[in-house]
Chains A and B, each alone.
Chain A
Amino acid sequence: MVETLFKPGHTACAGCGQAIAARLVIDTAGKNTMIANNTGCLEVFSTKYPESSWGVPWIHSLFENCSAVASGIEAGLKYLGKKDSINVIAQAGDGGTADIGLQAISGMFERGHDVLYVCYDNEAYMNTGIQRSGLTPTLSNTTTSPSGSASIGNPRPKKPMPEIAAAHGIPYVATASTGYPQDIQRKVKKALSIKGPKYLQIHVPCPLGWRHESNLTFDVAKLAVETGLYPLFEYENGKLIPRKIAVIKPVEEYLKVQGRFKHLMKNPEAIKEMQAIADANIAKYNLRPEV
């Protein structure tokens, strides 16, 4: 059996969805891969000196520049005539991608670098203590969008990062989920077979931040997809390829297992709002199975 390139001994929380996804990504990409990683949970729990979990060349610079560093790595490899045999991956969390990293990722897309960008979406700034990001879902309770007497959590919709990526005209955009690990592998493999910028956004549950039991990582991720709240799809050269939902579940099943949505459970209006978001996703991405 091939040894994993993301070694154990890292200090991720028990049940961390990002650890699962990061390992699947690099093991699929293989040892001829270089990674530029933004600041965040993954970087912190995998490289506390003198220990490192990474079995491939890996560099961390700052919070918002993995796309630009990856662009530079790609340019360096092109100069050395080695780019064709080496994968370059830029990876970051949701905040590092859609907020502080948005400028750099847009530049990388626009310049057409041959880089796979992976966004590990746990829907908040988890490493710094569960603060709201641009990808925090509507009505979610975070420390900077808490529910209270004057608030029912994050008032804004998720920034449509996959659409923003697709709008740059890049050849491949996809969403994936820890609830579908083989799908992550398939999409990473597919992305790396395509030349040019690729964007892959993986939904990764965070037991600590989402307030669910550590053994429900897989189940919670699966529920997000099955309710339609986290649509799985690909844009291949702009053409939408949905992953249809076999059995669509009501949003309550997903919300009720997470403490970050607890404040909504006695609020039928809020549940209706969440259901409307799920329904809109199902319609927009054509997720309903053919009859």
Chain B
Amino acid sequence: MRQFVEGSHAVAEIVKRCRPGVISAYPITPQTHIVEDLASMVANKELNAQFVNVESEHSAASVVLGGEATGVRSYTATSSQGLLLMAEVVFNIAGLRLPLVMTTANRAVSAPINIWNDQQDVMTVRDSGWVLLFAETNQEAVDLHVQAYKLAEDKRVMLPVMVNMDGFILTHGMEVLDMPSQEEVDKFLPPYTTKYKLDVDNPLTMGYLADPDYYLEIRYMVQDTHKQLLDIIPQVAADFKKAFKRGEGNGLVEGYKLEDADQVFVAMGSVCGSIRDVVDDLRAKGKKAGLLKVISYRPFPKDLVAGALAKAKEVAVVDKSISLGAFGPLYTDVMASVSSLGAKMPKMSGFVLGLGGRDITKKSIMDTYERLSGKQVDCEFIGLKKELLVEDKLNG
């Protein structure tokens, strides 16, 4: 059913249709509309779920951990500081192999405090073992949530999945999109069943102490599942396309005018939409530009990325986050992937844009493009305002 709807409301609607039984969240901008909608749906009996208002994100994540542990499909959403506060629980959920789905409305992290969009928050749990998917549009956000539960609850996977959507840009952006019906979602996503749960008829111990004799293999198993996910994610994407007649890609990466591109942008999330426009403008001027959009950041599709960039001359990796003291996180993953190309590696450059909600305009993307012909850079901030780069005289 086609709707003109705000991103958050669309996410709440699709989550409702996934039929979670336990929902728990703590308010944080810009996730609030999602959980407010879900609370309203429960209050009006549109959704049969236990809605637990908690006293912090750490408890929100712990509540849904408990819900999943009883074998009940659960849901939570957060951003920025909330994700950082629950980080310990996020790692715990993946380690416990619980198939939770969470929405992160990506937002900058303190200090200084900033409520606007960038992707620094999710990077703090990059190593947690979660599947990390990035939506470019609200339609993609809707579609990814349905696929997320299917992926997470797959008996070969049993790992939590996070759908990332840029805060405000997507959450508060209005878009015409196609909302899957309840019947369609029910057909695609059967009820969650598992033997791995707390059950008085079959008692189990979950969350034991693993000493050095056991821990390494248990960690390896999560890494191994991520390798398998590189096949399972495309399977689920294909199943989704068959059921909903939508979604061209393999669920891992997507190319735009990539096949003969000399210069390629690599990016994640909503910025890809702006980059597509710039690629079109460049193509109109005879420049062979292209875009490699990364949808699955974890597992990182290193072979697909290397293959997609193999024939390019220059590559601009666009990060909306930064590992302070080193490089943009996406840049490091892309570099590790293309290192397999050896001497045939294109000229790789890393750029940081849009931190703290700084507008990424077509001009700033063009600036990035222009830099590609110059000196190779590995972590160049685009759009710095020179007049603000002045030092304090506080300590003399």
Of the four ranges (under 10, 10 to 19, 20 to 34, 35 or more), the interface on chain B belongs to 35 or more
Q: Does B367 contact A (CB under 8 A)?
A: no
Mask of A52-96 contacts with B, CB within 8 angstroms, 1/0: 101111111110110111111111111110000010000000000
Q: How far is the CB of A43 from chain B (nearest CB, A)?
A: 7
Q: Are A68's CB and B58's CB within 8 A?
A: yes
- CB–CB A72/B208 < 8 A: no
Q: With A62-B89, A70-B66, A75-B50 in contact, is A54–B205 under 8 Å at CB?
A: yes
Given the complex of chains A and B, what is the CA–CA distance between A113 and B17 in angstroms?
Answer: 27
Q: With A55-B203, A80-B72 known to touch, is A72 a contact of B209 (CB < 8 Å)?
A: no
Q: Given A34-B200, A57-B198, A76-B70, answer yes or no on A47-B63 (Cβ-Cβ < 8 Å).
A: no
Question: How many Å from the CB of A246 to the closest CB on chain B?
Answer: 40
Contact A79 B21 (CB under 8 A): yes
Chain B residue at minimum C-beta to C-beta distance from A85: B200
A60 touches B206 (CB 8 A): yes
Pick the contact of B69: A43, A49, A54, A72 (CB < 8 A).
A72
Residues of A within 8 A of B204 (CB): 57-58
Q: Could you say which residues of chain A place their CB within 8 Å of the CB of B72? A: 75-76, 79-80
Q: How far is the CA of A79 from the CA of B21 in the complex (A)?
A: 6
Q: Are B69 and A59 in contact (CB under 8 A)?
A: yes
Residue of A nearest to B86 (CB): A65
User: How long is the Cα–Cα vector from A31 to B68 in the complex, in angstroms?
Assistant: 21
Query: Which size bracket describes the interface of A in this complex?
Result: 35 or more
- In B207-237, the 8 Å CB interface with A consists of 207-211, 214
In chain A, positions 22-56 with a C-beta closer than 8 Å to chain B are: 31-34, 36, 43-44, 47-50, 52, 54-56
Say whether A60 contacts B208, CB under 8 Å: yes
B189 within 8 A of partner (CB): no
Whether B270 sits at the interface, judged by CB under 8 Å, is no
Which of B21, B50, B62, B67 has the most A CB atoms < 10 Å from its CB? B62
**Taking the nearest CB of chain A, how far is it from the CB of B394, in angstroms?**
35
Q: How far is the CA of A110 from the CA of B52 in the complex (A)?
A: 11
CA distance A103 to B86 in the complex (A): 14
Determine whether A107 belongs to the interface, using a CB cutoff of 8 Å to chain B. yes
B292 to chain A, nearest CB (A): 38
- Bound Cα distance A100, B167 (Å): 31
Query: With the chains together, A48 CA to B88 CA distance in Å?
Result: 21
Contact between chains at A72 and B67 (CB < 8 Å): yes
Cα distance A80–B55 when bound, in Å? Answer: 24
A104 CB contact (under 8 Å) in B55, B67, B96: B55
Do B200 and A80 touch across chains, with their CB atoms under 8 A apart? Answer: no
The answer to whether B200 touches A31, judged by C-beta atoms less than 8 angstroms apart, is yes
A47 and B55 in contact (CB under 8 A), knowing A34-B200, A73-B66, A73-B70?
Answer: no
| Whole-angstrom distance between the Cβ of A169 and the nearest chain B Cβ | 16
Is B65 at the interface (CB under 8 A from chain A)?
Answer: yes
Q: A33-B200, A56-B203, A59-B207 are in contact. Are A72 and B52 (CB under 8 A)?
A: yes
Given the complex, which residues of A lie within 8 Å of B21, measured CB to CB? Answer: 76, 79-80
**Contact flag A49-B209 (CB < 8 Å), given A59-B69, A72-B74, A76-B50:** yes
Contacts of A131 in B (CB 8 A): none
The docked-state distance in angstroms from the alpha carbon of A50 to that of B204 is: 12
Asked whether B22 is an interface residue with its Cβ less than 8 Å from the other chain, the reply is yes
Instruction: Tell yes or no: B193 within 8 A of A by CB.
Output: no
Chain B residues contacting A211 (CB-CB under 8 Å) are: none
Taking CB atoms, residues of chain A closer than 8 Å to B65 are 61, 65, 69, 72
How far is it, in angstroms, between the C-alpha of A79 and the C-alpha of B64 when the chains are bound?
13
Q: Sample 7 A-B pairs with CB under 8 A, ordered by A number.
A: A34-B70, A52-B208, A60-B208, A61-B89, A68-B58, A76-B22, A76-B50
Besides A57-B206, A72-B66, A80-B70, 19 other A-B contacts (C-beta < 8 A)? A47-B207, A48-B209, A49-B208, A49-B209, A56-B203, A59-B206, A61-B62, A69-B66, A71-B52, A71-B66, A72-B67, A73-B66, A74-B66, A75-B52, A76-B21, A76-B50, A103-B56, A107-B56, A111-B54
Q: Which 4 A-B pairs have CB atoms at the shortest separation, nearest pair first?
A: A72-B66, A76-B70, A68-B62, A60-B207
